A and B are shown apart, each in its own frame.
Chain A
Amino acid sequence: MTTEAHADRLVWPDDAEAAERPRRRWLPFSPWHLVLFPLALIMLLPLVWMIVTSLQTQAESLRFPPVLVPGSLQLDNYPNALRSAPFGRWFLNTFIVTTVVVVSNLLLCSLAGYAFARIRFFGREATFILLLATLMVPFQVVMIPTFLIVKKLGLFDSLPALIAPNLVNAFGIFMLRQFFRTLPVELEEAARIDGASRLGVLFKIVLPLSLPALATLAVIQFMWTWNDFLWPLIAVFSQRNFTLQLGLTVFQGSHDVFWPLIMAGNVMSMIPMLLVFFAAQRYFVRGIATTGLKG
């Protein structure tokens, strides 16, 4: 029996709503989409342009107005880009730096965030406010002092110089602390009575329940580190220590602005980030929703 056959006898709340909908709907989609769709296109345009340029000839890329449909697909741009600069090395550098930074942030921000969320100690609130205050200071302000410290530590122009200052950050501590506070404290009390230590409670109860927040932090930190340009520009000097972002820029200067190759490099540098984002997207969105924080 079809639903129509039912409709004349019994009207369920859902059916009633469905029956009303065609009257209100003068478009096959929400009117909001009329605004959202053009906005999305504007957002996507640079991305599309980048991909298109990466497949063009040098001549096409310099034409004005821009050519949006290339005459032929110059897939060779990709291997050419890889050959023309030590992209492999830079990719590896970026990968090492990003992985270490993300892992250490997850660990250290968890520890600090948990302490701020649950352990009562003298000066907790004051310390936390101080920590938050550091979030308000732009990087450009601490750039030089950080550089001097790194140099004194003898790390200048090395991968550790890129890693050390970013091992932990205030935002991650803040975000995880906020999330940990939303978990029912009885779970932790039960675990303590069950014989778990403080660290046991954190690793066996709190963190498994905080996967959305951890995934969110991981993605944010991954994006920040992978895309960071300013600090690598200052902290490393030799090409063998470059990250991708730094390398791409240098690449830009050393050639006669060979746009297709630069864009091919950019597209390649973007892929890992997209993969991470899509892998964690489900958690990521939930994490933002539950912590009430913007990425």
Chain B
Amino acid sequence: MAEVRFDRVTKLFDSSVAAVDDLSLTVADGEFLILVGPSGCGKTTALRMVAGLEKVTSGRIAIDGRIINDVSPRDRDIAMVFQNYALYPHMTVLRNLAFGLRQRKVQAGEIDRRVREVSEMLGLDDLLGRRPAQLSGGQRQRVAMGRALVREPRAFLLDEPLSNLDAKLRVQMRAELKRLHQHLGVTTIYVTHDQVEAMTLGDRIAVLSGGKLQQLGPPQEVYDHPANVFVAGFIGSPPMNLLRATAVSGTITAGDLQLDIPGVADGEVVVGIRPEALRPAGDGLPSVPFTIDVVEPLGDEIVVHGSVAGRPAGGELEEQIPLSGSQPARATITARFDPQLRPKVGEQVPLRISPDAVHVFDPATGEALR
């Protein structure tokens, strides 16, 4: 078990593109840390640098205070689970599990004990004689986990380990991973682009974009207080609604929407509202008219996509939705409704927004203002 520290770590590919840009963070002993971000954000590169599979261009990576920049992967005492599992195809499950221990000249009796223990823990007992090609996706995934576990390493590195599983199995394995971590308490760095995995598994999550650390904190804190527009749009499903707005003496106006939010300087801002903060308004309460376009019933709730008067913020939305010149600008937003409400496509519903649930961002820097 160990503490893993990134100290101003930068990784350049082809001496110009920074895959990881000045990353500093510390993974505490026994912590489950998630590196999350869109593809190409540098999360996998950061993980591979800890494993020793990529050289660090500048900065330092330390495990338990010992700088490991130039230590070979085999001497770092870490274990990694690959996205495609990387099981040795020519070896049986038993030999796959034992390979790392044999390489380290662990005594035969000890190898036997550990393999037995791990295969019992992961339910691999009946599969020990099989080869990877004869296993299902879920079984391969468990063998890959087992191969990391038998090593009893100082830290686990997991690179999108659940992304090749079907949805049901993924939910199962997610819970199993959490249980394993609670049981073993080994420092774990987990890379994913799936923000549900990030929210559910992590003690803390580190959101990366463009090789830069955007925010680091416990999942709920990141969800409740996103540090910038990127984190606000990335964490949460469906994502936070982002609208361009104008602040004048404590009142923010975005289309039909007016919110009293004291303490915001006058000027252009971006407001962010989580889908669950939007509720159909009762009579007499201040509200915005919301036109429903798409209804997605999920059983326990209904995700409703529609539009309100206003200008969308966030590059992707602006490009995707062409705005016709003659009509007033409209912004697409998403809300979560109670299933009893039975919203219909084309219907216009008044939406109520609690000012407490509104996030305000600086449109130039993207930083949270409130």
Residues of A in contact with B (beta carbons under 8 Å apart): 184, 186-187, 189-197, 200, 204-205, 208-209
Contact = CB atoms under 8 A, between A and B. Distances in A.
Nearest to A196: B103
A186 B82 contact: yes
Interface of B: 51-53, 72-74, 76, 78-80, 82, 84, 86, 88-90, 99-100, 103-104, 147, 151
Contacts of B82: 186, 189-190
A187 B104 contact: no
A194 B89 contact: no
- In order of increasing CB-CB distance, the 5 nearest A-B pairs are A195-B103, A194-B100, A186-B86, A190-B86, A195-B74
A34 B51 CA distance: 60
A196 B52 CA distance: 13
A204 B147 CA distance: 16
A193 B51 contact: yes
A194 B90 contact: no
Task: Decide if the interface of chain B is mainly helix, strand, loop or mixed.
Answer: loop
Q: Name, among B53, B86, B147, the residue most crowded by chain A CB atoms within 10 Å (CB to CB).
A: B86
Contact of B78 (A186, A193, A205): A193
Contact of B73 (A192, A200, A205, A209): A192
A191 B88 contact: yes
Given A200-B103, A209-B89, A193 B73 contact: yes
Contacts of A192: 52-53, 72-74
Contacts of B79: 193-194
B90 to A, nearest CB: 5
B335 to A, nearest CB: 42
A203 to B, nearest CB: 12
Nearest to A205: B88
Nearest to A188: B86
Given A187-B89, A192-B72, 8 more contacts: A189-B86, A190-B88, A191-B88, A193-B53, A195-B104, A197-B74, A204-B99, A209-B90
Nearest to B144: A190
A286 to B, nearest CB: 15
Contact of A196 (B74, B86, B90): B74
Nearest to A186: B86
Nearest to B75: A195
Contacts of B100: 193-195
A194 B103 CA distance: 7
B305 to A, nearest CB: 39
A188 to B, nearest CB: 9
B86 A187 contact: yes
Given A194-B99, A209-B90, A189 B74 contact: no
Nearest to B153: A193
Contacts of A184: 84, 86
Contacts of B86: 184, 186-187, 189-190
Contacts of B72: 192
A259 B84 CA distance: 62
A186 B74 contact: no
A200 B52 CA distance: 17
A190 B89 CA distance: 12
A193 B99 contact: no
Nearest to B99: A194
A269 B153 CA distance: 58
A189 B79 CA distance: 11
A196 B72 CA distance: 10
Nearest to A209: B90
Contacts of B99: 191, 194, 196, 204
A270 to B, nearest CB: 34
A200 B79 CA distance: 18
B80 A190 contact: yes
Contacts of B89: 187, 209
Contacts of B74: 192-197
B88 A189 contact: no
B152 to A, nearest CB: 13
Nearest to B76: A193
Contacts of A196: 74, 99, 103
A119 to B, nearest CB: 13
Nearest to A194: B100
A250 B105 CA distance: 57
Contact of A208 (B80, B90, B151): B90
Nearest to B150: A194
A184 B88 CA distance: 10
Contacts of B147: 190, 194
Nearest to B157: A193
18 contacts: A187-B86, A187-B88, A189-B53, A189-B73, A189-B86, A190-B86, A191-B99, A192-B72, A193-B51, A193-B76, A193-B100, A194-B99, A194-B103, A194-B151, A195-B74, A195-B104, A208-B90, A209-B90
B161 to A, nearest CB: 13
Contact of A193 (B80, B84, B88, B90): B80
A174 to B, nearest CB: 24
A209 B131 CA distance: 13
A64 to B, nearest CB: 57
